[in-house]
């Protein structure tokens, strides 16, 4: 589904990703862990097409197509979704109007009819119930004055509305209490299928009890330096990253 | 012959019922002529280029306009409809069947409502301003509205100013008087529309008197064609406990200058000024606002939003005078702007003159761009760049729609904004 081949990326002349390789097959869930500043969010943004980051080398291949030159919305139309570590507030645009616009934009790009207001309403009701999002939130400006946890649930609500093929969850669990974590994980698991994949970026193995990954990678200094199964997450949480840093720095 | 000379010679012999006012204005215009950039109040808007055109002056009624020519410019609601054609009130196209209020031509009012006219005509409007004096000496007609005491008007009044261009490039000068009685409540929508390819310069004067404890809403839709220019002079006189609202939505036209003055003459009055300028190409809109706090305990609230693309230019002056007696005044003024292009410009000038000591006055002015992070976020959620930008712009501007109390008008404005931004989005739904 997704192949990253030797990706080098920078922002404002600062090299952040330094030759990153990753392959994700349909149906797989990959967890990415790593110390602060390693480049995890940068990786998400690069896949999603944020223009501020320049991809200086390497290819991003999605479903067999090189997407380096595609605009963010074109990538989104192909089924790439990224849940933001820091969701953006958009004063003056209600959550409802925003998701309506998003869902219909995707449908138009896919050559489908826009949903009727009735269909849209039903879909919003169904998905917001899944995420236990209060109606009040839906009629408020997007993320404005939302708590950290509410913003994250709102992200997963939008994901549920858009049903992406590849979901990148950037620290969606940070700041969630255990109930919210279950709700969010449930939202993610509802989408699991042999055709859909996910990248789960987290600092805590706790999330991985609910969203069980097929692989766990360690991202350090712009590269994936270690890959293992879900037990690697436990080990990392117990021992921290110093032993990995040592391993790398000694090489 | 210059336009000034032409006006002076055409109107010199005019036999006016309002001779005193007329003569005074005549003298002033003869002496000063059109305002130039040397006049501090006209520093950022030059009429020079506009005045190179050899405008025809309208002297008689043109009756060649049919209902279907005007129809598209109404908001599509149940309203009292007034149509002015080249500055003349057109009774055939106007629909004002009611005996609760008076709506008539200004000419008619000068004849038949002499007392009211005399009481208000050229009383709020400042005849020392060149463009007002010009209108005073050369207007033909306009609309007169009288809302008697205690009348809560059941539907809004729409005033469409049609410019026909049948005389070629034309100078049009409507003169309007709106008197809102004690405890009355009324809403009026004003629109200017050029239906020709010819250059139009409209210099309109509207005087509004808002009675004690009355509510009055005045909405200006300025979405005219690229060869249409407008100098709008609107003066609002407020009595005790009155609430007046003037909203200015400038989307179209070439050069537009809005001289909007509120004179707070009665205590506990509240003045509300809102505006959205949404410009592109070479458009120029100058909002020159003046709020005169003359007595204690009044509030004024001013919110102007501007979005400027291409080589367009916006000007905002927020002149607020808080006189010595105007204790316990609250004045709030916000002017927020977004520049979408390197060649777009905004000149913004808050101008507070405060002579009272117990005053809460705040003003803020911002100039920014669209937020890149927000744009990326929206695009990540499948919304194409153009639509994402439009949504952010609407979100930015729509705060200034808060006093639009006519649903069909709001829908109409939302449509015009979408059209201007080139997107097919139903805003505000
Ligand atoms: N816009 C930017 N301008 C300059 N430096 C940036 C920018 N964005 C990220 N960086 C830098 O790039 C490096 C990687 O940042 P990134 O956000 O990808 O780390 P991360 O692995 O997601 O960290 P965390 O776990 O704290 O979220 C950091 O050193 C960061 O300061
Ligand atoms: Mg991060």
- Give the domain ranges of chain A: 2-250
Over the stretch B231-245, which tens digit does the pLDDT of each residue have?
A: 999 999 999 999 999
The pair of structure tokens assigned to B173 is 């000068």
Residue among A42, A52, A84 to mutate when testing ligand 1 (max atoms within 8 A of CB): A42
**Residue B114 falls inside a structural domain:** yes
Closest Cα to atom 2 of ligand 1:
A11
Residue A98 CA to ligand 2 center (angstroms) comes to: 25
Alpha-carbon Rg of chain A, whole angstroms? 18
Interatomic CA distance for residues B36 and A36, integer angstroms: 62
The pair of structure tokens assigned to B48 is 């020079």
Over the stretch B384-408, which tens digit does the pLDDT of each residue have?
A: 999 999 999 999 999 999 999 999 9
HSE of A114, CA atoms in CB hemisphere, 13 A: 12
Nearest to B253 by CA among B232, B273, B274, B233: B232
Q: Looking at beta carbons, which residues of chain A come within 8 Å of B429?
A: 97
Assigned CATH class of A2-250: alpha beta
Q: B395 and A92 in contact by Cβ < 8 A?
A: yes
Q: B396 and A51 in contact by Cβ < 8 A?
A: no
How many CB atoms neighbour CB B10 within 10 A? Answer: 13
Q: What is the pLDDT of residue B15?
A: 53
Interatomic CA distance for residues A108 and A76, integer angstroms: 12
Please indicate if any CB of chain A lies within 8 Å of the CB of B380.
Answer: yes
The pair of structure tokens assigned to A83 is 């849940």
Domain final residue pick, B209, B244, B266: B266
**Residue B415 falls inside a structural domain:** yes
In sequence order, what are the beta bridge partners of B179? Answer: B146, B209
Q: B383 and A105 in contact by Cβ < 8 A?
A: yes
Q: What is the pLDDT of residue B107?
A: 93
Strands (E), B75-195: 80-85, 88-89, 102-105, 143-147, 157-163, 170-172, 175-180, 185-194
| DSSP state at residue A232 | H
pTM of the complete model: 0.93
Q: Total domain count for chain B?
A: 2
Nearest to B304 by CA among B399, B413, B191: B399
Interatomic CA distance for residues A169 and A198, integer angstroms: 8
Complete DSSP assignment for B18-59: THHHHHHHHHHHHHH-S--TTSGGGTT---TTGGGS-PEEP-
Do B99 and B244 lie in a common domain?
A: yes
**Residues A230 and A216: beta-carbon distance below 8 Å:** yes
Nearest to A179 by CA among A201, A155, A161, A152: A152
Residue indicated by tokens 């909002």:
B287
What separation, in Å, do the N-terminal and C-terminal C-alpha atoms of chain B show? 54
Do B260 and B375 lie in a common domain?
A: no
Q: Which atom of ligand 1 is nearest to the CA of A44?
A: 18
Weakly modelled stretches of chain B, pLDDT under 50:
none
Q: Which atom of ligand 1 is nearest to the CA of A203?
A: 25
Residue A36 CA to ligand 2 center (angstroms) comes to: 7
Q: Is the pLDDT of residue A20 over 90?
A: yes
**Residue B298 falls inside a structural domain:** no
Interatomic CA distance for residues A167 and A31, integer angstroms: 12
For ligand 1, whether the C-beta of A83 sits within 6 Å is no
| DSSP state at residue A114 | P
Do B259 and B375 lie in a common domain?
A: no
Domain final residue pick, B266, B290, B316: B266
Question: Given the DSSP bridges, would you call strands B270-279 and B243-250 parallel, antiparallel or unpaired?
Answer: parallel
Residue A246 binned pLDDT confidence (cut-offs 50, 70, 90): confident
Q: A103 and B382 in contact by Cβ < 8 A?
A: yes
**Residue B416 falls inside a structural domain:** yes
Do B74 and B203 lie in a common domain?
A: yes
HSE of B216, CA atoms in CB hemisphere, 13 A: 34
Residue A83 CA to ligand 2 center (angstroms) comes to: 11
The pair of structure tokens assigned to B84 is 């002015």
Helix (H) or strand (E) holding A124: helix A117-130
Q: Tell me what the mean pLDDT of segment A181-201 comes to.
A: 93
Q: CA angle, corner A110, sides to A105 and A115, nearest 5?
A: 55
Q: Which domain holds residue B22?
A: 3-266
Domain final residue pick, B266, B283, B312: B266
Q: What is the dihedral of CA A137, A138, A140, A145, to 10 degrees?
A: 40
For ligand 1, whether the C-beta of A38 sits within 6 Å is yes
Q: What is the pLDDT of residue B12?
A: 66
For ligand 1, whether the C-beta of A37 sits within 6 Å is yes
For ligand 1, whether the C-beta of A39 sits within 6 Å is yes
Interatomic CA distance for residues A83 and A175, integer angstroms: 14
Do B378 and B253 lie in a common domain?
A: no
Q: Is the pLDDT of residue A23 over 70?
A: yes
Interatomic CA distance for residues A217 and A109, integer angstroms: 34
């Amino acid at each position: 589904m997704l192949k990253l081949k030797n990706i080098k990326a920078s922002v404002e002349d600062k090299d952040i990703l330094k030759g990153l390789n990753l392959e994700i097959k349909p149906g797989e869930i990959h967890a990415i862990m790593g110390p602060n500043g390693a480049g995890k969010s940068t990786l998400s943004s690069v896949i999603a097409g944020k223009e501020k980051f320049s991809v200086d080398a390497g290819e991003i291949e999605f479903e067999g197509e090189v997407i380096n030159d595609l605009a963010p919305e074109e990538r989104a139309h192909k089924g790439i979704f990224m849940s933001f570590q820091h969701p953006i507030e958009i004063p003056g645009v209600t959550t409802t109007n925003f998701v309506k616009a998003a869902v219909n934009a995707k449908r138009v790009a896919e050559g489908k009819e826009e949903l009727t207001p009735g269909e849209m309403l039903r879909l919003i009701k169904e998905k917001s119930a899944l995420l236990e999002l209060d109606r009040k939130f839906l009629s408020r400006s997007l993320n404005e004055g939302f708590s950290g946890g509410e913003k994250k649930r709102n992200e997963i609500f939008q994901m549920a509305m858009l049903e992406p093929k590849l979901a990148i969850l950037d620290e969606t669990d940070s700041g969630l209490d255990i109930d919210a974590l279950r709700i969010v994980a449930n939202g993610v698991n509802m989408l699991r299928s042999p055709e859909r994949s996910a990248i789960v970026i987290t600092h805590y193995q706790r999330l991985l009890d609910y969203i069980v990954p097929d692989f766990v990678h360690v991202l350090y200094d712009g590269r994936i330096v270690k890959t293992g199964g879900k037990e690697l997450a436990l080990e990392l949480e117990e021992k921290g990253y110093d032993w990995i840093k040592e391993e790398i720095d000694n090489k | 012959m210059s336009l000034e000379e032409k006006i002076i010679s055409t109107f010199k012999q005019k036999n006016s019922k309002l001779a005193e006012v007329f003569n005074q204005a005549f003298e002033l215009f003869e002496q000063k002529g059109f305002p130039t950039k040397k006049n501090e109040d006209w520093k950022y808007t030059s009429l020079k280029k506009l005045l190179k055109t050899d405008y025809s002056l309208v002297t008689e009624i043109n009756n060649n306009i049919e209902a279907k020519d005007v129809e598209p410019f109404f908001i599509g609601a149940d309203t009292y409809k007034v149509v002015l054609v080249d500055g003349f009130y057109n009774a055939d196209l106007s629909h004002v069947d009611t005996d609760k209020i008076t709506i008539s031509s200004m000419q008619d009012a000068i004849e038949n409502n002499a007392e009211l006219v005399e009481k208000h005509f050229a009383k709020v409007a400042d005849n020392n301003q060149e463009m007002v004096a010009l209108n005073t000496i050369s207007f033909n007609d306009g609309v007169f509205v009288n809302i008697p005491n205690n009348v809560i008007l059941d539907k809004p009044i729409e005033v469409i100013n049609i410019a026909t261009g049948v005389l070629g490039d034309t100078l049009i000068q409507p003169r309007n008087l709106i008197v809102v009685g004690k405890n009355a409540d009324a809403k009026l929508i004003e629109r200017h529309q050029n239906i020709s390819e010819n250059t139009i310069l409209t210099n309109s004067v509207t005087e509004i008197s808002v009675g004690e404890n009355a509510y009055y809403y005045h909405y200006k839709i300025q979405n005219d064609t690229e060869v249409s220019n407008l100098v709008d002079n609107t003066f609002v006189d407020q009595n005790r406990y009155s609430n007046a609202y003037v909203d200015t939505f400038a989307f179209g036209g070439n050069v537009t200058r809005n001289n909007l003055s509120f004179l707070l003459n009665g205590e506990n009055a509240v003045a509300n000024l809102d505006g959205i300028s949404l410009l592109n190409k070479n458009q120029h809109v100058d909002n020159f606002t003046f709020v005169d706090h003359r007595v204690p305990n009044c509030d004024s609230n001013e919110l102007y939003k501007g979005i400027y693309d291409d080589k367009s230019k916006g000007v905002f002056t927020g002149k607020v005078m808080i006189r010595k007696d105007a204790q316990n005044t609250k004045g709030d003024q916000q002017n927020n702007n977004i520049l979408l292009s390197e060649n777009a410009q905004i000149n913004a000038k808050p101008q507070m003159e405060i002579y009272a000591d117990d005053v809460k006055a705040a003003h803020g002015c911002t100039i920014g761009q669209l937020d890149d992070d927000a744009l990326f976020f929206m695009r990540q959620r499948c919304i194409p760049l153009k639509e994402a930008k439009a949504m952010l712009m609407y979100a930015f501007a729509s705060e200034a729609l808060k006093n639009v109390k006519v649903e069909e008008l709001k829908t109409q404005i939302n449509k015009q904004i979408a059209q201007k931004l080139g997107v097919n989005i139903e805003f505000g739904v």
